[in-house]
Each structure stands twice: as structure tokens, then as C-alpha cells.
Structure 1
């Protein structure tokens, strides 16, 4: 035993004792520079806001008035006027003023029977005898009346049994006799000049054993018949459009 050499036992990582080892120094890192700069900027903005508020409060425009309550006037609040009728305005009572105020009545009627007179249609003059090289010269024949003018005999109005000519017809009325129908036509054609130039017709009709004579005029087209009947209705006359 005395002759053997003593060797130090080998120490492995598993045999290390961590609590016996020297602990390293831990150094805490400070805040980053960007955070410091941000906090400084926020502080500057807050300081500027406080200074701006103080400046505005000292230099603001004072409100007008002192805030006192307005005292009511002495006496009655409403006073009865000396003239209960009120002030007279120039033009009061006129139709225009009354209409603007919503009043009804007045002379505002329209005479529906007063239709304008029918215009006079002139005849076109014939071609001039001197207008062209091939124009013929017209000669008038003089009758042997000794220089006196003779008027032609008046002709009787033609009664069309079926309203010939086609087109739309306007019935002006129904009468118990043909004579009454002709009388009504004479009165209507004198009152309304635009009827005189239209073709008149008197149709005989049997209704429930009674004979009637229908007075009609030929207006030409359906549109013209509607227009003609409308004018007659405005004038207070009764009419119907037939075919």
C-alpha cells in the first residue's frame, strides 16, 4: 500500500456542484433610446397644450352683457287699441286683395257663351291675265238687261238624307218634325258662323213607335268632330259625335 501512488479522482460534468461555482455578474440593460425620445416628445406636446390653454384663457374676448335678468316693463303687457277696426290699408276691399287673402266670391265668372267670331275666309284671286305669255284674255258677256244688274234667285238648302260624304258627324239635336230641325239649323248657323260652311244632314229615325229627325253636320275627321263638339259645349249647346 505504501508503494502505490495516489491519483486524484477525475471530475466529470455530472459531478460538478453548481452552488460552489463562481456566479457571473448580471448587468441590466437600460431602456432603448427610441423610448426615451418618444417620452420627451409627449412631454413637450403636453407642455405646449397647457401653455396654449393658459394663453387663450387670458386673451379671450369677454362675453357681451353682464348676465343680469331683464326686468319686465311696468303696466299691462297687452293694450287694447284705440281703433278696434285696425289700420286701413290702401286698396283694401278690392278683388285682387280679397283673392290674395283667400276670400271667395266676387265677379270672377267667365262667360262661356261668348266665343270669338269665326274668321272670314277670303277667296284667292285668280292668275293675272298679264302674268304669262300664254295667258288668255277673258271676255265678259253682257246680258240684254238694259244695263241693270239682276241678282240670281236664292237656292234652297240641300238636305242630305244620310249625311253623305263620309267622315265623322256631330249631332246637334233631335226634333219631332223636319221643319223644327231646319229652324234649329238656321238659328245655329247664324249664331255660330263656323257651322254654316259644314254639310248639314237630317236623318229620320223611329224610336219606340215615334218619329224623330236628327240634325247632324259633317265635321270631316274624328278630331275635327271632337273639337267642334267641344266648342259647342263650351257655348252651352248639347251635341254628340257620331259616325
Structure 2
């Protein structure tokens, strides 16, 4: 039976072998671009982007950026690299690349595009297994990326109100605001189910203060009225009822969410306590 030291020696040898293989592989990749001019890199990366071969485009653009970091092409290279990272699903790399461009070229005429890409990365963040394989309602999960994306778009509009991306940004912000409000509704219902009525009422107050104009408002009022009645806060319940009756005499005007939305089975919410 091999001794401990024999095993250790084998592991070390295997580790060194793997590192050597990796080294030679990287050397081979780099050798592929030996002698390439800026024009060759630009033409090759443009072709890869047009063909939607984003992995190959990333390799070419990274080589261009590292070998020729300065020049008239530099800013566009960084923007293209940010876009390629985004389309390839490399969220962290795309965010870092966008931030780098914003810091390096704050007065560039296309800097609004870097802000736009940064917001899109968070807007389209993958949530892994749940999204790919289980029909679900994204608003029942952590809203961190939704909030971050909303703030990114908000910053873009504040800095560049006349950007060509402004119309699209405004539409996305409406969607995100509705999603954030609906997330708060889920949390309020969660608290109601746990008989945490004060917490539920506080959540509905937050919706009324921060998400006016969203479809979630009348549903928040319904929860709030019920919570106040259970807490024997009749004065507050009457005030909320008056507001609800005045604004929604026939009930909510809009459905809480688009009818095409798929809602995860309620018990999943309770099991995992998605109350953030």
C-alpha cells in the first residue's frame, strides 16, 4: 500500500504536469497572434462579433488590448470587449470592463453606452438552475440585481438625459419598478402568513411611499387594511379603506402582474423564506 509520502509526491507531480500543459496551451494561443498588426486584430474581432462568436471575439480583443493598449482604437476596443463579455454571459468581467471604460474615458462621446451595458448586465443576470429548469416568478426571489439595474439605468438618465438609449431605459425602468413593487408584495404576504402583521403593514407602507403608480398599490392597500384590522388599529384601517375606496371603487384596475407570468408554487416561498 503506497505510503503517505508516495501519494503526496504523486499529487505534486500531477499538479506540475497540469500546470505545464496549461502553460504550453497558453503559449500556443499567444503564438497564434505573433506579428499581428492592429488592423488585423480589429478586422478579426469585428468578424467574430458579427458572427456572434463572442468567446473568440473576447480572445482577439483581449490580445489587441494587451498588445496595443494605446491608440485611436483603444476606446472602441474596450467597448467592444465589454459588449462581448456581456453577450457571452461573463457578468463580472463585463461590469469591470464597463467601469474601466467609464474611469478611463469619462468624456468619450460613447460613454453613455458603457453605462447602458453596465445596466443591461444586471438587468439580464442569470439566476441559475431555477430560471432554466423550473417555471418561476423572478419577483419572489432576492431583488438585488433588479435594484442594482434600476439604479444603473437611473444614473444613466441623470447623467445623459438625451442619450439615444433613454427611450429604452425609461421602458425598462417601468418594468423594474413594477417588479420591485411586486417583490415587496410577496414579502408582505409572507409576513401575513407568518402572522407578523406589523412587519406586513410596514412593507405595504413602503410600497405606498416608494412605488406609487405601480399595479401593486391596490393590492398593498388590501393587505394593509387586513393587517390593521387584525392589529385592532381601526383608525388606520379606516383611513386605508377610505383611500382604497376612493381610488379603486371597482377594485384594482390592473392585474398584479402580466397574465403570462408563471408564479412559483406558494409553498416554495414559505420553505425558503424569501423575505428579503
TM-based fold match above 0.5: no
| TM-score normalised by the chain length of structure 1 | 0.25
More strand by share: 1
The structure whose RCO (Cα within 8 Å, separation 6+) is larger is: 1
More helix by share: 2
| TM-score normalised by the chain length of structure 2 | 0.22
